[in-house]
Structure 1
Amino acid sequence: MTDDPDPSEVAAGLLASVSVLVRRVQQIPTEGGLTMPERTALSLLDRSGPTTSSALAREVQITAQAMGATLSALRDRGLVERRPDPDDGRRAVLMVTDAGRQALKNKRNARAELIAQALTGGAFTPAELDRLAAVAPLLERLAQHL
């Protein structure tokens, strides 16, 4: 008879493993020229829709000035645009442009390709690849419950 897994031990193991994976993927340079702050801002805007610079700064817990500099660089490259807030004409909201969405897609595809390359070439058995494929939706569900 086997003992049921201890949720605390599972949590600690998952957090350590996923943290290492995410750090490695973020450290590997890919084409596209997006810095980590730029990618973070673009991803948030893409997921949440139009919002203000100050709301984005609060979300990622950085200063409004730092977020302003990041968004300014994104605007200069045509990846983000500024429009009047439909609810309050005194404010401006920022939104991702089509070029910004494409830059995010390119970055995601490049990183997914790096992971795919690591999974090929005999580093993982077909059974291990099946196990990894089965874990992906579980990790997403876990993230949704946090």
Structure 2
Amino acid sequence: MSNDPGCGGELDADEAVRALLLLMPQLIGRAKRTPPPDELAGTALGPRHLSLLSFLLFDGPMTVNALASRLEVAPTTASLMIADLSRGGVVERHEDPDDRRRRIVSIADASRPAIEGWLGPAAAAWREALQPLSQAERRLVVDTLHAYERAASRQSSPRT
């Protein structure tokens, strides 16, 4: 077994942790070097806004409740996020033709090229990285990243 974590050999838990501790700052740095496009400069975007825009970009228009469910937030929280983006002209809300009480949210046509150019390359890179894996391996990657986020949140939470 090689000590080089990038050569594809097996890693014990400590070697994997070391490799990820080196890799995570690179991933975070890359994300930070990808600023929002100028067209979105006046909009205060947080991580959940990015997730919301990603869902709309890749899955198309959807209801506020559907977005809330995917974002794992309350519908009122999703509505507030949508209102932020709507004020900036980034998203639009339209009446659902099947149920006039519901609103369908979509990316504004004028904002679509900027959002595609901004979020598209990261999606393409993830697709390239995940494509060779089996469905079970992809699930393992996603589940592992979720588990890391939960554990990191517990570690950084103030102790009472």
TM superposition score normalised by structure 1? 0.59
1:97 paired to 2:145: no
Once the two structures are superposed, residues 88-124 of structure 1 have per-residue CA deviations (whole angstroms, 9 ceiling, x without a partner) of 2321111111223133134348x87xxxxxxxxxxxx
Point out the structure with the larger helix share: 1
Aligned position for 2:97: 86
Structure 1 letter corresponding to 2:28: R
Residue 50 to residue 31, structure 1, CA distance change in 2 (3 Å): closer
Aligned to 2:130: 140
> Structure 1: 5+ residue runs without aligned partners?
113-132
In the TM superposition, what are the counterparts of 1:46-85 in structure 2 within 5 Å?
46-85=57-96
- How far did 1:83 drift? 1.2
C-alpha spacing 1:31/1:55, structure 2 compared with 1 (3 Å): closer
Alignment partners' CA distance in 1, 2:108 and 2:90: 5
For residue 25 of structure 1, the aligned residue among 17, 25, 30 is 30
SS across alignment from 2:100: coil
Report the residue type matching 1:77 in the other structure.
Answer: G
Q: Matches of 1:22 and 1:60 in 2, distance apart?
A: 22
What is the aligned residue count?
122
Unmatched 5+ stretches in structure 2 = 2-7, 140-160
Counterpart CA distance in 2 for 1:143 and 1:15 is 21
TM-align CA RMSD: 3.8
Identity %: 25
CA contact (8 A) 1:57 1:67 kept: yes
1:99 is paired with a residue whose SS is coil
Taking the aligned partners of 2:27 and 2:134, their CA distance within structure 1 comes to 14
TM-score of the superposed pair, with normalisation by structure 2: 0.55
Deviation at 1:5, TM superposition (A): 4.6
- Greater RCO between the two (CA within 8 Å, min separation 6)? 1
